[in-house]
Amino acid sequence: MNEHPPMRYHSTVGTSPTTNLDGALRRGLAPDGGLYVPERLPDLRYADLADCRNLAETAERVLAPFFAGSSLADQLGEITREALDLPLPVVEFERGRSWVMELFHGPTAAFKDFAARFLAACMARLRAPDAPVQTIVVATSGDTGGAVAAAFHQRPGFRVVILYPQGRVSARQAHQLGAFGDNVHCFCVAGDFDDCQRLAKQALNDRDLAESRHLTSANSISIGRLLPQITYYAHASVQLFRRTSTAADVIVPTGNLGNALACILAREIGLPIGEVILATNANRTLSEYFSGQDYRGRPGLATLANAMDVGDPSNFERLAWFFRDRDLREVGIQAFSISDEVIRRTIAAVDQSYHMEVCPHTACAVEVLHMRRKYGQFRPHLLAATAHPAKFDEVVEPLLGRAIDPPSALAELLGRPSHAEPMAAQFDDLRRVLDRIASE
Ligand SMILES: *Cc1c(COP(=O)(O)O)cnc(C)c1O
């Protein structure tokens, strides 16, 4: 039973009618082009979650208010147990002062597994048993495609079409994307990530095509991906508070602001989190904004931390909505930009001083911690580690001077044959592919 008042979801643009969670999950993007946001945030404290034994239990309690008024409300426990049954180690980094939350123990070794699995568990339950097969079109710069493919692989009623940019993802990422098979169709597009995203958007926005081929999206702006990400911050912050009696500051490697916004929302709900510090790569949109300059979106720069190569983070619009009555620069958020050169140096230094292997994204967070220590900030910190370093072996291994063993789930995928079909960055080619797949 869900005893919370029904939760309505607004569009950030504000012209689309409000909807319950089902509507927001089904549509992904609001009809007016805005992003869905919950009308209010629940109020939860340390004591409300202190007896939760694992992430699934924490998630059920944190998400119940968001599911009120949804047809999925009674299935929330089942959904969290199915989707969030992933290891979530919180590993000590500096003795008694900082900890690393490892978000990379899912099937594709990056944090996106949590959200993709949760979204898939919701979508599978929203679907009528006799509904036509839905095709999920996903453009990826590497990690999203794999997580979505893994979450929907062999799920009845769904197929996945992955579009990834040829030569712009790591060899291991490419292998992984093509290794699923069955209901996952992988295409290697002659273009960059923006081309892939444009093709996917064009297909989803083409009413006739989207309706006749039952297209849907699972992209990072879905509220169904934001909500589950709140839960691991809730769970880890409660664990740390028990140990330190202090609300830890949290450092989050950031690209599209999805993972970091979830952390900020966990704090706004009332959980023991201090400042939230965004660690970006050389893409400086957020660090400039939070240092007082105007917000200026721009094309993404290619860096070693390629999953964060974002110059105009899509979730900024949501962040601004949540703090619409306050000055966003005065709500306990900071942002720092880390260059490729420093990423390289940090990966090597963390290995030497802490015997910890980190991916290029996580390295940005570690460097931000070092900066804070240098400037006399000695509070407890929690760092989000977003991917396993073995996923970025081409960057990390030469710096460590040795090979890194992939985790078993990733190794299993890498051991399978992999197949991607080449595709031109042309909408007609995508349309032909969607027609063909639908008739298979
Ligand atoms: C997607 C991704 C990020 C960025 O996450 P956002 O939610 O877009 O900020 C960081 N690190 C890794 C490994 C990722 O895959």
**Distance in Å, CA 300 to ligand 1 centroid:** 14
Test site for ligand 1: of 112, 251, 364, 388, most ligand atoms within 8 A of the Cβ: 112
Distances (CA, A) of 59 to 86, 187, 231: 12, 34, 5
With a 6 Å cutoff on the Cβ, whether 240 touches ligand 1 is no
**What pLDDT score does 3 carry?**
87
Q: Are 67 and 91 in contact (CB under 8 A)?
A: no
- Determine the Cα–Cα distance for residues 184 and 120; give it in Å rounded to an integer: 14
- Determine the Cα–Cα distance for residues 200 and 202; give it in Å rounded to an integer: 5
In a domain, 99, yes or no: yes
- The residues, any chain, with a CB within 8 Å of residue 119's CB and separated by 6 or more, are 25, 151, 218, 222, 224, 225, 228
- Determine the Cα–Cα distance for residues 196 and 198; give it in Å rounded to an integer: 5
In a domain, 253, yes or no: yes
Domain tally, the chain: 1
* Cross-sheet strand order for the sheet of 248-253: 90-92, 98-102, 381-385, 248-253, 273-280, 333-337
Give the nearest ligand 1 atom to 229 CA. Answer: 7
With a 6 Å cutoff on the Cβ, whether 148 touches ligand 1 is no
**Distance in Å, CA 132 to ligand 1 centroid:** 32
Ranges of beta strands (E only) in 81-237 are 90-92, 98-102, 134-139, 158-165, 184-190, 215-216
**Distance in Å, CA 314 to ligand 1 centroid:** 12
CATH number of the domain within which 85 lies = 3.40.50.1100
- The residues, any chain, with a CB within 8 Å of residue 292's CB and separated by 6 or more, are 329
In a domain, 437, yes or no: no
Q: What is the pTM of this model?
A: 0.96
Tokens found for residue 289: 């904004």
In a domain, 207, yes or no: no
**Distance in Å, CA 331 to ligand 1 centroid:** 23
**Distance in Å, CA 254 to ligand 1 centroid:** 6
Test site for ligand 1: of 386, 392, 395, most ligand atoms within 8 A of the Cβ: 386
Q: Are 204 and 180 in contact (CB under 8 A)?
A: no
With a 6 Å cutoff on the Cβ, whether 107 touches ligand 1 is no
Domain that holds residue 342: 79-109+224-406
For residue 343, the SS3 value is helix
With a 6 Å cutoff on the Cβ, whether 361 touches ligand 1 is yes
With a 6 Å cutoff on the Cβ, whether 283 touches ligand 1 is no
Give the nearest ligand 1 atom to 253 CA. Answer: 10
In a domain, 372, yes or no: yes
**Distance in Å, CA 143 to ligand 1 centroid:** 8
Give the nearest ligand 1 atom to 143 CA. Answer: 15
Give the nearest ligand 1 atom to 391 CA. Answer: 13
**What pLDDT score does 374 carry?**
97
**Distance in Å, CA 385 to ligand 1 centroid:** 10
Tokens found for residue 385: 């580690």
For residue 122, the SS3 value is helix
Element (H, E) at 395: helix 393-400
Test site for ligand 1: of 103, 108, 111, most ligand atoms within 8 A of the Cβ: 111
In a domain, 183, yes or no: no
Tokens found for residue 341: 């050169």
Tens of pLDDT along the chain (440 residues) come to 578 999 999 999 999 999 999 999 988 888 888 999 999 999 999 999 999 999 999 999 999 999 999 999 999 999 999 999 999 999 999 999 999 999 999 999 999 999 999 999 999 999 998 999 999 999 998 789 999 999 999 999 999 999 999 988 888 899 999 999 999 999 999 998 888 988 998 998 888 998 999 998 887 789 999 999 999 999 999 999 999 999 999 999 999 999 999 999 999 999 999 999 999 999 999 999 999 999 999 988 999 999 999 899 989 999 999 999 999 999 999 999 999 999 999 999 999 999 999 999 999 999 999 999 999 999 999 999 999 999 999 999 999 999 999 999 999 999 999 999 999 999 999 999 999 998 88
With a 6 Å cutoff on the Cβ, whether 255 touches ligand 1 is yes
